[in-house]
């Protein structure tokens, strides 16, 4: 889909010479693969005719154009090239004094003829080549461009692999299909479809584009379920056979990546097969808008009848005054808009890109010179005259200039990134309805899907989050607005193959049945109820798995689903990590988890049972607080209350008696001080709570039957070396070995409930006996009720999981079934099914009571003790502050000078200095009655007043 720009046209050689020239290409390519440098190996061996001065520009330069004239893209490109050449030559600001010549060469939609045309163009010493429009031809002639150092600009070759380092002289002036496939992926993810069928032409462009699509889908856990390849040039019969085959498959989402000239045949055959109706999704790449835009009005209307509801992607070019001017120019060239497509815009800009690059090239005083390739001269002995091909000496310089260009054309900004792709790739998302396509949004690698033009988002930070994606409503095939489900059950006559474990134990969950459908049980009823809620029929058949003599391995059953032997596994299948890695589970329909079951016996009554309500710490703290509060109350009441006075022995007995008598609220001592009453009120409240709790706990211990077991839970079971029973075929064995590191020799597989009961009754010391059984909760519920509650679970449930139905990876039915199971749960149907199959005859407590758990600990009462302690501290603080204040008041005051002198004299005679108040005197003050202290303070105050009066009388007597 491209074209070459050359200096002059060259007529086609004879057919025999074309064959030889094609062989020459195969000779040139292997030399590149041999590891020789693409840039240094073609150094000029001899200079061409004398070069013009640096200040002198050539009068003309030739640019070659190679494309298929008779094609949608070629017809638009030819007009665009001629218009661009005229505009460049008429513009005096570009290539001053240099005329741009474009020489056209028809590739005739043939890789062979296109390659020969490219070689003929190279013989004319072209400085650049524009084309081809075909990715297949581009792969071949890119080797020629590498050898001759001629930049190759393609406006139509979209194959992602052409951007590889293998083709350094290839420049894509249109968008890379790499970005288009990511746009398709984002659209599929936006609509929630997980599987697609890719229909593509089996050439370089088709294969490599679909390969990128597969990689993009894989990053989002999506996939191409089938690749339907169409032979290039295939007739309608072949296309019809291929569509018949894909219509038998599950997916109804088709991505069509073909050529614009023959792609409509796919939709024509699809419509004849009834594949363009409701339930189908058709997504076409940019080839479809190209074909529609290039059609005449009458043909376009006929095509619309085939394409109703199709979603397509088209290269996005921002609206601008330059683009509008070009559209008016196009209308004058064609006398209508018919035949216009986006590739015409890229073709027009490609010519201008070459022209502006040559202008920069000449401004830097570069010359256009050619030289002979020494490697090609080695073929002079052959009839193929490859020596006529010349190397463009300044090709690398021109290539560098082109890649560094930054200008705006009719397609918008023309600028290349580090991988030689155009920056800011964007596409329009079109929905074909009525008489033409309707734009429903845009896609860009900057912001993903949006309903605003991409250029308005480039100034904002990139945001491709799921919440940011948005498109307008789409009309789907069949004129429906609701997005199709995107898949159906295959129309190949094969129903859904459902594998069911053939259990020999716990048969109420799932088991074999003589009546159709051949299976029965709780799990089967849940599955059937969920199937009935689906809005479409599900043909199905059940297949039993196992010999019926022992429970089958559930891991092997899951592996059979993974191996595509079965479509889904239905039964009591536990959802565990290793299984979720290989299959898709539905929403759990019943909770499950591993528990430990052990023999239990009635706990014997103990003469010390009255101590069990409290823990040791609780008893110790309670006793300490009784003594502490008794001592506090004694201190606070000692000065006020005669009942708290007397000899030391009597006072000590009073403290103990008062402390513990408050337990029964039988203390006979009255409290008279305000602080003592405050402390006693708080303490009596604490005692009330402790007494009530003790009474309730003791009543429970003495009246409720207590069961005990040697095994306390999974931790004690791991620490022992006793045998452990597990159900045969379940995941419990692997879990105990791999996750809990229990020796396999300790694991005893048990077949059914009878073996469970027998092994528990035998115990760990007898052959075949076990200390405990580890199994899932739903099974244990049945076991305990059927054993008349002789056994109990010990400890807590140590795994949390559930049972679900296992589908093949990425099966869309798994999502619908999960929704149906949630609906059953919300409507109460799951509970009804549970009561139907699991209505136990004996209801018994699942777990034995733990005596340690029934003991009341300190953590339940520390708040009360804290409040009491704070109250006591505050009361003591106030009490001692008052005592210290009284003590300070009782200290003797310092008298007059005579008194101080007398005291000093007495002190001097006694040989002692002044001393501070003694601690002994302070204790005496504390021990005195409050009444005595008040009397002493009153007497001191009286003495002080009398002493003051006498001193005043003496002073008056001494006056002369």
Residue-wise pLDDT for 906-937, tens only, equals 544 444 443 445 666 666 666 666 667 767 77
**What is d(CA 603, CA 566) in angstroms, rounded to the nearest whole number?**
52
* Both structure tokens of 789: 């509650």
The neighbouring-strand residues paired with 496 are: 540
Give residue 645's pLDDT. Answer: 67
pLDDT tops 90 at residue 523: yes
Lowest mean pLDDT among 203-212, 402-411, 912-921: 912-921
Mean pLDDT value of segment 810-839: 91
> Looking at residues 87-102, what average pLDDT do you find?
89
**One-character DSSP codes across 564-599:** TS-SEE-SS-B--HHHHTTSEE---SEEE-EEEEEE
| Distance in angstroms between the alpha carbons of the first and the last residue of the chain | 142
Other Cβ atoms less than 10 A from the Cβ of 332: the count is 9
C-alpha distances (whole Å) from 243 to each of 9, 239, 273, 277, 555 are: 44, 6, 8, 14, 38
For residues 104-114, average pLDDT: 77
Whats the size of the chain, residue-wise? 960
- DSSP annotation of 512 reads E
Total Cβ atoms within 10 A of residue 911: 6
Per the DSSP assignment, residues forming a β-bridge with 775 are 595
The dihedrals phi and psi of 417, each to the nearest 5 degrees, come to -90, -170
Cα angle, residue 595 at apex, residues 590 and 599 outer, rounded to 5°: 130
| Closest by CA position to 411, among listed 322, 340, 294 | 322
Judged against a pLDDT cut of 60, whether residue 35 lies above it is answered with no
CA dihedral 716, 718, 724, 730 (to 10 degrees): 120
Cα 111–chain centre separation: 45
Mean pLDDT of the 615-640 span: 83
Hunting for tokens 């390739």 — which residue is that?
Answer: 373
Q: Pick the range with the lowest mean pLDDT from 90-104, 546-560, 628-642.
A: 628-642
Query: Higher-confidence residue: 542 or 459?
Result: 542
Residue with tokens 């759990």: 588
Query: How do beta strands 747-750 and 772-776 pair?
Result: unpaired
Residue with tokens 């004694």: 634
Give the residue, 689 or 36, on which the prediction is more confident: 689
| Spatial CA neighbour of 116 closest among 191, 66, 58, 61 | 66
Q: Which two tokens stand for residue 677?
A: 């009453």
Using CA atoms of 555, 560, 562, 564 in order, give the dihedral in degrees to the nearest 10. -170
Specify the higher pLDDT residue, 631 or 445: 445
Neighbours of 320 (CB within 10 A): 15
Q: Where are the alpha helices (DSSP H) in 219-296?
A: 236-247, 264-272, 287-294
Proportion of the chain above pLDDT 70, given as a percent: 80
Where is mean pLDDT largest: 111-115, 372-376, 404-408, 936-940?
A: 404-408
Place of tokens 């502050």: 881
CA distance 565 to 924: 100
Q: What letter would DSSP give residue 738?
A: I
Least confident of 47-56, 492-501, 596-605, 718-727: 47-56
pLDDT surpassing 50 at residue 608: yes
Q: How far apart are CA 402 and CA 154, in angstroms?
A: 13
Three-state SS string over 780-829 comes to HHHHHHHCCCCEEEECCCCCCEEECCEECCCCHHHHHHHHHHHHHHHCCH
- The pLDDT confidence band at residue 307, using thresholds 50, 70 and 90, is very high
**Mean pLDDT lowest among 15-29, 600-614, 784-798:** 15-29
Closest by Cα among 393, 343, 353 to 373: 393
Q: Which residue has the tokens 């009591």?
A: 572
Name the band, by pLDDT with cuts 50, 70 and 90, for residue 845: low
What's residue 117's pLDDT? 75
Q: Which of 75-79, 131-135, 665-669 has the lowest mean pLDDT?
A: 665-669
Determine which helix (DSSP H) or strand (DSSP E) holds 443, and give its type and residue range.
Answer: strand 436-444
- Output the six-digit token pair for 374: 């020494």
Higher pLDDT, 28 or 408: 408
Of 215, 219, 240, 212, nearest in space to 228 by CA: 240
CB 255 within 8 A of CB 274: no
**Considering only 311-325, 341-355, 457-471, 480-494, which range has the smallest mean pLDDT?**
480-494
What's the confidence (pLDDT) of residue 562?
A: 95
pLDDT at 661 over 80: no
CB atoms within 10 A of CB 909: 8
Q: Which residue has tokens 């109420």?
A: 508
User: Which two tokens mark 505?
Assistant: 């134990």
- Mean per-residue pLDDT of the chain: 81
Q: How far apart are CA 46 and CA 370, in angstroms?
A: 9
- 3-state DSSP helix/strand/coil percent for the chain, to nearest 5? 45, 15, 40
Q: Are the beta carbons of 543 and 498 closer than 8 angstroms?
A: yes
Query: In sequence order, what are the beta bridge partners of 430?
Result: 312, 439
The average pLDDT across 701-710 equals: 60
Give the per-residue pLDDT at 566.
Answer: 95
CB distance 187 to 283 below 8 Å: yes
The confidence band for 424, taking pLDDT boundaries of 50, 70 and 90, is very high
Q: How confident is the model at residue 855 (pLDDT cuts 50, 70, 90)?
A: confident
Nearest-10 crossing angle of helices 135-148, 204-218: 100
Looking at residue 347, what is its pLDDT?
Answer: 93
Q: Which H/E stretch holds residue 59?
A: none
Please give the full DSSP string across 513-569, using - where no structure is assigned. Answer: -SSTTSEESHHHHHHHHHHHHSSS---EEEEEES-SSSPPPHHHHHHHHHTTS-SEE
Tell me which long-range contacts 364-369 makes (C-beta under 8 A, separation of at least 24).
365/54, 365/55, 366/394, 366/397, 366/398, 367/51, 367/52, 367/54, 367/394, 368/58, 368/61, 368/127, 368/392, 368/394, 369/47, 369/48, 369/51, 369/393, 369/394
More confident residue, 515 or 607: 515
| Banded model confidence at residue 199, pLDDT cuts 50, 70, 90 | very high
Q: For residue 403, is pLDDT > 90?
A: yes
Any idea which residue has 């449930």 for tokens? Answer: 797
579-588 confidence digits (pLDDT tens): 999 999 999 9
Please say if the pLDDT value at position 848 is more than 60: no
Average pLDDT of the segment spanning 836-863:
68
Closest CA to 733 of 704, 771, 690, 776: 776
- Conformation bin of residue 710: beta by default, left when phi > 0, alpha when psi is -120 to 50: alpha
How far is Cα 833 from Cα 522, in angstroms, rounded to an integer?
7
**Phi-psi group of 37: left, alpha or beta (phi > 0 → left; psi -120 to 50 → alpha; rest → beta):** beta
pTM: 0.68
For residue 441, what are the β-bridge partners? 429
**How far apart, in whole angstroms, are the C-alpha atoms of residue 619 and residue 617?**
5
Query: Residue 356 has which token pair?
Result: 């502006």
Q: Residue 118 — very low, low, confident or very high, per pLDDT cuts 50/70/90?
A: confident
**918: Cα separation from own chain's centroid:** 78
Q: Which two tokens stand for residue 616?
A: 């040791």
């Amino acid at each position: 889909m491209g074209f070459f720009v050359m200096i002059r046209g060259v007529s086609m050689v004879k057919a025999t010479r074309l064959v030889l020239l094609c062989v020459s290409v195969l000779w040139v390519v292997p030399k590149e693969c041999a590891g020789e440098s693409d840039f240094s190996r073609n150094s000029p061996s001899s200079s061409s005719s004398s070069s013009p001065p640096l200040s002198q520009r050539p009068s003309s330069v030739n640019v070659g154009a190679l494309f298929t004239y008779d094609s949608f893209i070629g017809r638009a490109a030819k007009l665009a090239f001629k218009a661009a050449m005229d505009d460049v030559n008429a513009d005096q600001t570009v290539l001053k004094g240099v005329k741009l010549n474009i020489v056209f060469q028809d590739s005739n939609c043939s890789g062979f003829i296109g390659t020969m045309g490219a070689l003929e163009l190279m013989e004319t010493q072209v400085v650049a080549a524009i084309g081809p429009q075909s990715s297949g031809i581009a792969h071949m002639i890119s080797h020629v461009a590498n050898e001759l150092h001629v930049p190759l600009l393609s406006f139509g070759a979209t194959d992602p692999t052409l951007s590889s380092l293998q083709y350094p002289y290839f420049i894509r002036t249109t968008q890379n299909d790499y970005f288009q496939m990511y746009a398709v992926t984002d659209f599929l993810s936006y609509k929630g479809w997980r599987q697609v069928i890719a229909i593509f032409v089996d050439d370089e462009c088709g294969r490599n584009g679909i390969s990128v699509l597969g990689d993009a889908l894989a990053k989002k856990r999506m996939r191409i379920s089938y690749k339907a390849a169409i032979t290039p040039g295939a007739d309608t019969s072949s296309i019809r056979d291929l569509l018949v085959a894909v219509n038998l498959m599950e997916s109804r989402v088709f991505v069509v990546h073909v050529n614009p000239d023959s792609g409509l045949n796919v939709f024509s055959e699809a419509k004849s097969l009834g594949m363009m109706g409701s339930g189908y999704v058709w997504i076409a790449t940019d080839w479809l808008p190209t074909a529609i835009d290039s059609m005449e009005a009458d043909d376009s209307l006929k095509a619309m009848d085939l394409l109703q509801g199709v979603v397509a992607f088209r290269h996005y070019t921002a609206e601008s005054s330059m683009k509008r001017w070009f559209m008016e120019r196009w209308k004058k060239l064609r006398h209508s808009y018919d035949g216009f497509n986006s590739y015409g815009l890229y073709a027009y800009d490609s010519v201008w890109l070459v022209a502006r690059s040559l202008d920069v090239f000449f401004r830097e005083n570069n010359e256009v010179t050619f030289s002979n390739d020494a490697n090609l001269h080695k073929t002079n002995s052959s009839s193929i005259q490859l020596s006529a091909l010349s190397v463009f000496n300044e090709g690398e310089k021109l290539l560098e200039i082109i890649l560094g260009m930054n200008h705006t054309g009719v397609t918008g900004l023309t600028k290349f990134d580090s991988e030689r792709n155009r920056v800011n790739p964007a596409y329009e998302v079109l929905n074909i309805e009525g008489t033409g396509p309707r734009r429903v949004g845009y896609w860009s690698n900057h912001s993903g899907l949006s309903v605003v033009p991409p250029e308005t988002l480039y100034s904002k930070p990139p945001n491709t989050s799921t919440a940011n994606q948005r498109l307008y409503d789409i009309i789907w095939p069949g004129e429906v607005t609701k997005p199709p489900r995107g898949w159906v059950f295959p129309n190949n006559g094969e129903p859904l193959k459902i594998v069911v474990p053939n259990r020999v134990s716990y048969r109420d969950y799932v088991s074999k049945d003589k009546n159709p459908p051949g299976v029965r049980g709780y799990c089967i009823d849940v599955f059937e109820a969920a199937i009935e809620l689906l809005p479409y029929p599900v043909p199905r058949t059940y297949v039993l798995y196992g010999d019926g003599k022992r429970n089958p391995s559930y891991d092997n059953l899951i592996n059979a689903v993974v191996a595509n032997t079965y479509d889904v596994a239905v039964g009591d299948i536990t959802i565990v990590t290793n299984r979720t890695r290989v299959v898709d589970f539905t929403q759990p329909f019943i909770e499950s988890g591993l528990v430990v079951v052990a023999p239990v016996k009635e706990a014997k009554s103990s003469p010390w049972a009255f101590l069990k309500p409290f823990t040791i710490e609780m008893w110790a703290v309670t006793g300490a607080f009784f003594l502490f509060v008794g001592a506090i109350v004694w201190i606070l009441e000692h000065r006020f209350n005669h009942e708290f006075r007397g000899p030391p022995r009597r006072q000590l007995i009073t403290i103990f008696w008062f402390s513990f008598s408050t337990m029964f609220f039988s203390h006979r001592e009255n409290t008279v001080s305000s602080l003592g009453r405050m402390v006693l009120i708080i303490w009596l409240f604490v005692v009330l709570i402790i007494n009530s709790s003790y009474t309730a706990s003791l009543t429970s211990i003495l009246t409720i039957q207590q069961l005990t077991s040697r095994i306390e839970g999974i931790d004690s079971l791991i620490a022992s070396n006793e045998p452990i029973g597990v159900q045969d075929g379940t995941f419990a064995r692997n879990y105990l070995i791999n996750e809990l590191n229990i020796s396999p020799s300790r694991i005893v597989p048990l077949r059914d409930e009878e073996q469970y009961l027998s092994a528990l009754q035998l115990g760990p010391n007898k052959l075949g006996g076990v200390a405990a059984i580890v199994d899932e909760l739903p099974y244990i519920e049945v076991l305990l009720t059927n054993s008349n509650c002789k056994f109990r679970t010990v400890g807590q449930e140590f795994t949390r999981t559930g049972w679900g139905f296992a589908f093949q990876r990425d099966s869309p039915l798994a999502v619908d079934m999960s929704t149906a199971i949630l609906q059953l749960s919300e409507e109460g149907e799951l509970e009804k099914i549970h009561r139907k199959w699991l209505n136990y005859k004996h209801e018994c407590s699942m777990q034995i009571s733990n005596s340690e758990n029934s003991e009341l600990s300190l953590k339940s009462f520390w708040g009360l003790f804290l409040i009491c302690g704070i109250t006591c501290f505050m009361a003591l603080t106030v009490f001692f502050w008052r005592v210290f204040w009284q003590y300070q008041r009782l200290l003797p005051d310092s008298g007059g000078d005579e008194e101080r002198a007398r005291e000093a004299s007495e002190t001097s005679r006694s040989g002692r200095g002044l001393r501070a108040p003694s601690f002994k005197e302070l204790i005496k003050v504390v021990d005195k009655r409050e009444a005595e202290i008040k009397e002493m303070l009153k007497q001191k105050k009286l003495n002080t007043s009398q002493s003051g009066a006498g001193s005043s009388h003496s002073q008056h007597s001494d006056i002369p």
